[in-house]
Chains A and B, each alone.
Chain A
Amino acid sequence: MKKEMDVDDHKLELPDLEAKYSTSITKGLVGAVAAERLLRDGPNELRPPRGTPECVKFGRQLAGGLQCLMWVAAAICLIAYGVQEGQGDRGSADNLYLAIALIAVVVVTGCFGYYQEFKSTNIIASFKNLVPQQATVIREGDKLQINANELVVGDLVEIKGGDRVPADIRIISAQGCKVDNSSLTGESEPQTRSPECTHDSPLETRNIAFFSTMCLEGTATGLVINTGDRTIIGRIASLASGVENEKTPIAIEIEHFVDIIAGLAIFFGATFFVVAMVIGYPFLRAMVFFMAIVVAYVPEGLLATVTVCLSLTAKRLARKNCVVKNLEAVETLGSTSTICSDKTGTLTQNRMTVAHLWFDNQIHTADTTEDQSGQSFDQSSETWTLLSRVVTLCNRAQFKSGQENVPVAKREVIGDASETALLKFAEVTVGTVSEARGRFPKVAELPFNSTNKFQLSVHTAGDRQLLVLKGAPERVLERCSTVMIKGQELPLDAQWREAFEGAYADLGGRGERVLGFCARWLPAGTVAAGTDPEALPEVAVGLCFAGLVAMIDPPRATVPRAVLKCRTAGIRVIMVTGDHPITAKAIAKGVGIISEGSETPEDVAARLRVPLEQVDPRQARARVVTGAELAGMEPGVLEGILRAHPEMVFARTSPQQKLVIVESCQRLGAIVAVTGDGVNDSPALKRADIGVAMGIAGSDAAKNAADMILLDDNFASIVTGVEQGRLIFDNLKKSIAYTLTKNIPELTPYLIYITASVPLPLGCITILFIELCTDIFPSVSLAYERAESDIMHLKPRNPRRDRLVNEPLAAYSYFQIGAIQSFAGFTDYFVAMAQEGWWPLLCLGLRPRWEDTHEQELQDSYGQQWTFEQRRYQQYTCYTVFFISIEMCQIADVLIRKTRRLSLLQQGLFRNHILVIAIVFQVSIGCFLCYCPGMPNIFNFMPIRWAPPPQVPVVVRAHALRPPHPHLRRDPQAGRAAAPRELVGS
């Protein structure tokens, strides 16, 4: 799958090509043949990646780690129900309710998650371009306009500037044709297309234009050699669909957590199964106990909590223009330790812009920011006046009409990328270009061609004529005899030439495209209107050199800061681009991927003046690797290089190589995010742990492959995503810890019920209310907890060590806080029983008589006699009391869970308003359940008295009481250095 494209049509001579596709390069195909081929090959369009059927998507929502746990629990419940029903046991309907509740939770959260994904898919779908494309085709010698999807192999098509190339085309003839291959190869410079075969590789040769690339200017005629999915783009797109999706880190964490839960559940269940057998329960009864304990360990509310927390963050991200396709991907960005970023369009603006000027023997820096907010250069020199005039006049590009109110940078332009850059530059620095052009009407011009490598035009300027010329600097210099410095025309001397060479090399070394500009005043009438353009170069000699202008596709303004933030957050940013190494390196330096002072081995070699082979790789922090080097590498070498050099740039890489790079990073244990916009990025996007595509510039293929889409194409949004991802990981930890804690006080009543035979202190329905009603709000509100420290200054979590739920967290929740809550609950239970007449010692062993439906005169400690129903309501009172005490402990618990490192006072008790509201809500629901009439018989809640509870859980910050944990981790995420403690005071 990872082999390179095998196309040899570019090497064939035209007659061979005609024979191969049995067509004519003058008349095109015969209509009937075309129809036949269309039938054979199918329409010329990319088959959308086989979308997952909706039911499978929904099914996936029901089959996560936690979901499986709950399915198993529901099944166990149903079995237990069956067993109890078989025994004719009263009250066994509880197990049925439990099973129904478990299934309902899975299904409802599944629907919720599905809805969330459905919504984001819709947002993404709305970005797709649905306008059918037209193509100009020659069939039987007639020029026709047909829909591009009806093209077949062998068709003769014409393309012109502004068209999208309708298929893979072998160029037969071209006039100044340039295409933008950036979405395929990442090269930001327009590529010339001509009939000659210039390279062995089909991707590099000039005589093939690729499907869906843009023709920027000129015209060309070509023969369709591939259509639909067999085009290069189609193959890359299908490469992406062949890549399997990895499990998200959060899914792995949840599985790990389910392992812990399941282990503990079975351990507890088995222990008490043995205990029950020893006590003398019949086997079936003990089996039911076993199942009930295992099920009681399932945190019913957790699934809902996790889903809601993740979708809250997804919403928060969407507000910041990051749309997440898959809820779990929300967290992935937080775990990311490596970002492989495409250059063009992601780090850069994907538009040529004037970056530097060289005149008066000095390099001037132009403003390259998107909104023209940067510093401008000194424009007082007279040389600048000349240079700006040449830049303005020697330019064929023009703004499309009707855009006067649009900012210059955003206006649409007819013309190639560098002319566009110069036009916009002139418009911004000098003023209205069209006006200047009006003052100097054009007399004659010679457009750019690859032989001359310059372009010149002659303009009327009052009673004189002005000849302006721009082109490749060395060609321009050949035609100059003087140079203008500070307004003075001076003859060219050797010293100046040296300065010129230096500046040219300097700007070229920055990865910029350099053009030279020169001019000459001519007497009026030197060039008559309508002169043959071919005669113009003869006039253009002895010119006066004005200056150099260097252009680059500049980095987006927000990128350097974002890269810096990633670095401080311990995330490695790697550039992976199809563009040239020099440009790539220059941009990498510009945005900080190669930091200041870092050297590549080549730099070190140049500095030490030693051959490259002798350079110790450890001396070079940075390294630029090209696709050609990659292709020659043994397996495993790449990992070594990635390990040796923290700052990496990959240039001239093919889509397959991008995939290899991502996989190598993953083999090193990194969680890799890939950002990109082009079709060439889509396999890597798919392979990455999280693929981030650009929403505006991104191709459909990239968006299909990605997990997250940046609607504003802003790389800085990734930083927001990382921050939110880390925050949600931290907060999920809190939520889970909170949710897990109450598992123990829900379980211990049952254990005591079995072993000490007390009347059941806490019922199944009550547990469901705690899990799925009252405690959902506080646990979700923990998702709103703000970051405790600057999480963007921490290293990314180590996926092997920093687990979402680790054993210390489970132990702390279960065996410490959970134990405290159980003791609190039982104290309240015994108090409630004693106050109504059942003293603690009487309760022990009371169960068989208490639950005897035929016993209508059971005596309490005072000699009063109780009917069965009266005892049942007393049992409900106990449920309610136990419920209230768990709730009160949970309020204390949510407060201590607010922080993991800071003191509660530092974090602010009431700063999380949602949490305060959640607590109020929790209390209100508790009150409603207790005091709403009719509750005793519907949900088994009894109104209980407002009495100062004998148990007042006190939140005490007791550093002295913290567990002697020898494993205090360096990473504060798991540390419990300031573990708060809840004390029960009487």
Chain B
Amino acid sequence: MATLNEKKTCSERMENFRRFVWNPETKLFMGRTLINWVWISLYYLAFYVVMTGLFALSIYSLMRTVNPYEPDYQDQLKSPGVTLRPDVYGDRGLQIYYNTSENKTWERLVTTLQTFLTAYTPAAQHLNVNCTGDKYFIQDTFDGPNNTKLSCKFTSDMLQNCSGIADPTFGFPEGKPCFIIKMNRIIKFYPGNGTAPRVDCTYVGDESRPLEVDYYPVNGTFNLHYFPYYGKKAQPTYSNPLVAVKFLNITRNVELKIVCKIIGAGITFDNVHDPYEGKVEFKLKIEN
């Protein structure tokens, strides 16, 4: 092996490398003649064109066969996620701290709510219909305009004291803040099995300790006529129903852990791996 292991100096190595890149005697560029390189490049070009073509064809046929109204599977969407407004994140999860005497600390939160509720003004909802029945709004046909399905109206005034109409500060300065709970939409999800699901807020870990809460609409329910959701294409104007919660007796200057669960058949809130499934937890601290 002696011949193979000769110690080469750096300059010899460089020289060898230069010779490899372009060998003037044999006219080899990187070990091949130029025409060879052309052929190889052409081969690879053709190869990749064919491969990309096949790939494009696969994606094209996928999009042609995919159902535009509802997904084939909803493996990860067994139970809806729940979100909170205003949503301010701290180190670990939602964390809403403010000082009643410092306007700046809560104005931001109020603005979040106001911005959020702009989607629920009567003007924003004018394409949706008024629904009155307390049953699932099942539509097997496309009755809406442009071959769509109808969606029920949800306007912010249904949130009464927390609508921001009577009290644009949502009770923040008084230390009785409003929070809005929203349930994620899932296509053809029937929550509650006939009974309207409702929001229930408690202290975390200490459920017996009373937490005085006002729920809007009454009882904190999501009316059944907002369900099921038929998807973006069928219900382009659909808006999620909301529940507002107003905390009435928040102890000042203490960090409180509060969880709002949605109670209803088909909605689970005990998935240890997903803290936002069927419930929303947040920390609240009001200083003055």
Contact = CB atoms under 8 A, between A and B. Distances in A.
Complex A-B, nearest 3 residue pairs according to Cβ-Cβ distance, in ascending order: A863-B232, A867-B81, A865-B184
A862 B55 contact: no
Nearest to B30: A807
B57 A986 contact: yes
Contacts of B141: none
21 contacts: A252-B1, A252-B5, A816-B47, A823-B54, A827-B59, A834-B63, A835-B66, A836-B74, A854-B89, A861-B71, A864-B77, A866-B184, A867-B184, A869-B273, A869-B276, A869-B277, A873-B76, A877-B75, A950-B58, A964-B40, A986-B57
A140 interface: no
A744 to B, nearest CB: 12
B92 to A, nearest CB: 10
A689 B3 CA distance: 13
Contact of B66 (A800, A816, A827, A839): A839
Given A246-B1, A827-B55, A963 B62 contact: no
Interface stretch (A60-68, A95-103, A394-402, A662-670): A662-670
A823 B44 CA distance: 15
A856 B233 contact: no
B184 A834 contact: no
B57 A862 contact: no
B32 A966 contact: yes
Contacts of A370: none
A834 B3 contact: no
Nearest to B37: A966
A667 B2 CA distance: 6
Given A854-B89, A865-B185, A827 B71 contact: no
The B interface is mostly helix, strand or loop, or mixed, namely: loop
Interface string A822-856: 01001100110011110110000000000000101
Contacts of B40: 963-965
B98 interface: no
B72 interface: yes
Given A863-B231, A867-B274, A951 B76 contact: no
Most buried by B among A834, A837, A871: A837
B163 to A, nearest CB: 21
A667 B63 CA distance: 65
Interface string B186-226: 11000000000000000000000000000000000000000
B182 A864 contact: no
Interface string A152-183: 00000000000000000000000000000000
Given A839-B63, A951-B58, A870 B32 contact: no
A609 interface: no
Given A249-B1, A667-B2, A863-B185, 5 more contacts: A839-B66, A857-B182, A871-B76, A950-B58, A963-B40
B61 interface: yes
B73 to A, nearest CB: 5
A945 interface: yes
A826 B62 contact: no
A827 B59 CA distance: 7
Contacts of A869: 271, 273-277
A797 to B, nearest CB: 13
A288 interface: no
B70 interface: yes
A218 interface: no
B14 interface: no
Contact of A857 (B32, B74, B83): B83
Interface residues of A, number: 60
B57 A866 contact: no
A769 interface: no
Given A667-B2, A867-B274, A836 B185 contact: no
B129 interface: no
Contacts of A859: 232
A784 interface: no
A820 interface: yes
A911 interface: no
Interface in A804-822: 807, 815-816, 819-820
Given A819-B51, A830-B59, A856 B81 contact: yes
B47 A840 contact: no
Contacts of B72: 835-836
A868 interface: yes
A250 to B, nearest CB: 11
A864 B1 contact: no
B184 A864 contact: yes
B120 interface: no
Interface in A238-290: 246-247, 249, 252
Most buried by A among B70, B75, B277: B75
A942 B71 CA distance: 18
A860 interface: yes
A857 B81 contact: yes
A873 B73 CA distance: 14
Contacts of B71: 834-837, 860-862, 864
Nearest to A251: B1
A334 to B, nearest CB: 15
B184 to A, nearest CB: 4
B238 interface: yes
A124 to B, nearest CB: 24
Contacts of B187: 862-864
A966 B71 CA distance: 50
Contacts of A951: 58
Contacts of A874: 75-76
B123 interface: no
A864 B271 CA distance: 20
B157 interface: no
A609 to B, nearest CB: 41
B142 interface: no
B10 interface: no
A986 B274 contact: no
B277 A666 contact: no
A866 B54 contact: no
Contacts of A942: 75
B276 A868 contact: yes
Contacts of B47: 816, 819
B66 A834 contact: yes
Given A666-B1, A816-B47, A835-B71, A856 B62 contact: no
Contacts of A860: 71
Given A666-B1, A862-B233, A819 B55 contact: no
B36 interface: yes
A836 B187 CA distance: 11
A967 interface: yes
A937 interface: yes
A835 B36 CA distance: 45
A827 B63 contact: no
A247 B232 contact: no
Nearest to B88: A854
B287 interface: no
Interface string A535-556: 0000000000000000000000
Given A834-B62, A836-B71, A862 B232 contact: yes
A975 interface: no
A854 B1 contact: no
A800 B39 CA distance: 26
Nearest to B1: A246
Nearest to B39: A964
B87 interface: yes
B229 interface: yes
Interface string A949-986: 01100000000000111110000000000000000111
Interface string A907-944: 00000000000000000000000000000010000100
A43 interface: no
Contacts of A986: 54, 57-58, 61
B43 A964 contact: yes
B73 A671 contact: no
B1 A963 contact: no
Nearest to A666: B2
B223 to A, nearest CB: 19
